[in-house]
Each structure stands twice: as C-alpha cells, then as structure tokens.
Amino acid sequence: NAGVTQTPKFQVLKTGQSMTLQCAQDMNHEYMSWYRQDPGMGLRLIHYSVGAGITDQGEVPNGYNVSRSTTEDFPLRLLSAAPSQTSVYFCASSYRSTGPSGNTIYFGEGSWLTVV
C-alpha cells in the first residue's frame, strides 16, 4: 500500500540547473498538488491538477512546470533552479467524496531541495 511516493528525498542543485521531482499515487485519486514549505510561511500551493490532462497554477507557480498525462503521476519540473527555490516540497493527492473519508489529503514524505 504505497500511497503517495515522492522522489528524490534529498537533492542539491546548482543555480541554473533543471530537474524534475517525481510524484506518484496508487489510490486512483483525481486531485494532485504540489506545495512548498518554508520557515514561517506554512504550505504554499505551487500547482495542482483536478484530473489527467488538467493542471492549474497555485499561489507560487513561477519557475515551476507540471503536467498530468496519467492519473497516477504528477511531476514537478524546475526549469532553471534558483537559490530562492531551496525548500521542502510536498506532493499530495485526494479524491472527491461525500463519504467519511472524503477529501482527506494524503501527502508524500517530502523532497528536501537545496539550490547553491
């Protein structure tokens, strides 16, 4: 029962490099999202998706790209890394339901990214 799987867990990048944070869920959830967590800022939404082929911007989308070609996968791409993107990144998924478990958000374990 994998849930939400994020890779890598730790990464160091040089300024200007690009990379992709992977996120996969095996719960057939419609909704997936990426957050970054910075000290004193809580969780800020980067991008989200309400289904395969559909993505939208969150609160802090600049410098990041996403795509959702399948229900399971929602990768986050850093196009040209900057020190301001040093953060902890969390992927999350959820589904629409009016039942007791409805709308519970499931998180990955996080990816610690440092840009030098």
- Number of residues in contact with another protein, rule: CB under 8 A? 29
Q: Please state the separation of Cα 103 from the chain's center in Å.
A: 17
Distance CA 12, CA 18 (A): 11
Site pattern 42..81 for another protein (x: CB under 8 A): xx-x--x-x-----x-x-----------------------
- Report the alpha-carbon distance of residue 60 to residue 57 in Å, rounded: 8
Residue closer to another protein, measured from CB, 27 or 82: 27
Contact, 83 vs 107, CB < 8 A? no
Chain residues binding another protein by CB under 8 A are 30-31, 33, 35, 40-43, 45, 48, 50, 56, 58, 90, 92, 94-96, 98, 100, 102-110
